Chain A
Amino acid sequence: MLSALIWLPILGGIAIGYLPFPIARLKLIALSVSGAMALWSLWLVSQFDFTNPLVQFVEFVPWIEILGLNYELGVDGLSLLLLVLNGLLTWIAIYSTVEAIERPRLYYSLILLVSGVVAGAFTTQNLLLFFLFYEVELIPLFLLIAVWGERERSNYAATKFLLYTAFSGVLILAAFLGIVWFGGASSFSYDALLSQSLPLGLQFVLLGLLMVGFGIKIPLVPLHTWLPDTYVAASTPVAILLGGVLAKLGAYGVLRFGLGLFPAAWAAVAPYLATWATVSVLYGAFVAIAQKDIKRMVAYSSIGHMGYILLGGAALTALSLVGAVAQMVAHGLILAILFHLVGVIEAKVGTRELDVLNGLMNPVRGLPMVAALLVLSGMASAGIPGLVGFISEFLVFQGSYRVFPVQTLLCVLGSGLTTVYFAILLNRTCFGKLDNAIAYFPKVEWRERVPALTLAIVILFLGIQPTWLVRWSESTTAAMVAAVPSEPVNAFVQEGVFPQLSLNWADGDRPSDLATQSTRL
Chain B
Amino acid sequence: MVTDTTRDRAIALPPSTHEFRDIVHRLEAGGSMLPDNPENLKQIIGIYKAYAVPMDFYWRNLLYIAERVFLNPLPAFKYFLPKDYLELHNHYAGDDADLRVWRGDASAHPELLEFVRQGELQRKVPKLLHHLWHDRINMEFAESCMRAMLWHRHMYEPANKFDRYLDSEEYRANADLAIRAYFQGNPLMLGLYKLFPDMFLEQVRQLSYYSNLGLFWEVMAPVFFEMSDLYDEGKLASVPEAMQFLVDGIFAVAARPIYHHVYIRGDRYEIIPKSKGFMWLYEAALPYVEAIFYRTSPFRGTKSYNAQANQVPAEQKDFHYGILYADVFPIGTAGIPPTLLMQDMMHFLPQYLLDDYRKHCRGEDDILSQIGVTFQRSMYNVTSAVIQALRAALLYPLDDPNPRHLQANREFFEAQLDRFIRPEARLRNVQVQDYR
Q: Which residues of A contact B (CB under 8 A)?
A: 359, 361-365, 433-434, 436, 439-440, 442-443
Closest residue of chain A to B328 (Cβ to Cβ) is: A436
Chain B positions within 8 Å of A361 at CB level? 333
B368 near A364 with CB under 8 A, answer yes
B364 to chain A, nearest CB (A): 10
Contacts of B333 in A (CB 8 A): 361-364
Contact A434 B329 (CB under 8 A): yes
B327 touches A364 (CB 8 A): no
A-contacting residues, B315-364, CB 8 Å: 327, 329-333, 361-363
Q: State which size class the interface on B falls in.
A: 10 to 19
B330 engages A434 (CB within 8 Å): yes
User: How distant is A297 from chain B, measured CB to nearest CB, in Å?
Assistant: 26
Q: Which of B366-382 contact A (CB under 8 A)?
A: 366, 368-369
A439 near B332: Cβ-Cβ < 8 Å: no
Cα A436 to Cα B327 with chains together (Å): 8
In whole Å, how far is B359's beta carbon from the nearest beta carbon of chain A?
A: 13
Count the A-B residue pairs with Cβ separation under 8 angstroms: how many? 41
Q: Return the contact of A364 from the options B302, B365, B435, B436 (Cβ within 8 A).
A: B365
Q: Is the CB of A443 within 8 A of B365?
A: yes
User: B330 contacts A362, CB within 8 Å?
Assistant: yes
Q: How far is B318's CA from A63's CA once the two chains are assembled, in angstroms?
A: 86
B311: A residues at CB distance < 8 A: none
| Most B C-beta atoms less than 10 A away, residue of A362, A363, A365, A436 | A365
Residues of chain A within 8 A (CB-CB) of B363 are 443
With contacts A364-B368, A364-B369, A440-B436 taken as known, whether A433 is within 8 angstroms of B331 at the C-beta atoms is no
Known contacts A436-B327, A443-B362, A443-B365; A363 and B332 CB within 8 A of each other:
yes
| A442 contacts across to B, CB distance below 8 A | 362
Most buried by B among A361, A433, A434, A436: A436
A508 → chain B closest CB, angstroms? 58
Contact with A along B186-214 (1 / 0, CB 8 A): 00000000000000000000000000000
Chain B, 394-436, contact with A by CB distance < 8 Å: what is the 0/1 string? Answer: 0000000000000000000000000000000000010000011
Known: A363-B333, A364-B329. 4 other contacts (CB 8 A): A362-B330, A364-B369, A365-B329, A440-B361
Complex interface: chain A residues within 8 A of B330 (CB)? 359, 362, 364-365, 433-434
* Closest partner residue, chain A, to B434 (CB atom): A440
B221 CB to nearest A CB, Å: 27
Secondary structure at the A interface, as helix, strand, loop or mixed, is loop
Contacts of A443 in B (CB 8 A): 362-363, 365-366
Contacts A364-B365, A440-B361, A443-B365 hold; do A433 and B332 have CB atoms under 8 A apart?
no
User: Smallest CB–CB gap between A365 and chain B, Å?
Assistant: 5
Q: How far is the CB of A302 from chain B (nearest CB, A)?
A: 33
Q: List 12 A-B contacts (CB under 8 A).
A: A359-B330, A362-B329, A364-B368, A433-B302, A433-B327, A433-B329, A434-B330, A436-B327, A436-B435, A443-B362, A443-B363, A443-B366
Query: Which residue of chain B is the closest to A441 with respect to CB atoms?
Result: B362
Query: Is B329's CB under 8 angstroms from A439's CB?
Result: yes
Complex Cα–Cα for A282 and B216 (A): 65
Task: Determine the distance from Cα of A442 to Cα of B365 in the docked complex, in whole angstroms.
Answer: 10
A365 touches B327 (CB 8 A): no
Q: How far is the CA of A459 from the CA of B339 in the complex (A)?
A: 34
A318 to B295: give the CA distance in the assembly, Å. 66
Question: In whole angstroms, what is the CA distance A436 to B332 when docked?
Answer: 15
A434–B362 Cα gap in the complex (Å)? 15
Q: Are A364 and B331 in contact (CB under 8 A)?
A: yes
Least Cβ distance of A446 to chain B in Å? Answer: 12
A421-B435 Cα distance, complex, nearest whole Å? 35
In whole angstroms, how far apart are the Cα atoms of A362 and B333 in the complex? 6
Indicate if the CB atoms of B302 and A365 lie closer than 8 Å.
no
Give the CA-CA distance A361 to B362 in the complex, in Å: 16
Chain B residues in 8 Å Cβ range of A436: 327, 329, 429, 435
CA distance A440 to B365 in the complex (A): 12
A365→B330 CA distance, assembly (Å): 7
CA distance A286 to B302 in the complex (A): 32
Contacts of B435 in A (CB 8 A): 436
**For the complex of A and B, 8 pairs with smallest distance between CB atoms:** A364-B332, A443-B362, A364-B366, A363-B332, A364-B369, A434-B329, A443-B365, A365-B329
**Chain B residue nearest in CB terms to A363:** B332
On chain B, the residues within 8 Å of A439 by CB distance are: 329
> A436 CA to B366 CA in the complex, in Å?
14
Cα A283 to Cα B361 with chains together (Å): 43
B342 CB to closest chain A CB (Å) equals 9
What's the Cα separation between A291 and B329 when bound, in Å? Answer: 29
Question: Which residues of chain A are near B366, meaning CB under 8 Å?
Answer: 364-365, 443
A364 to B361, CA, bound (A): 11
In the assembled complex, the CB of B337 is this many whole angstroms from the nearest CB of chain A, namely: 15
Q: Could you tell me the distance in whole angstroms from the C-beta of B436 to the nearest C-beta in chain A? A: 7
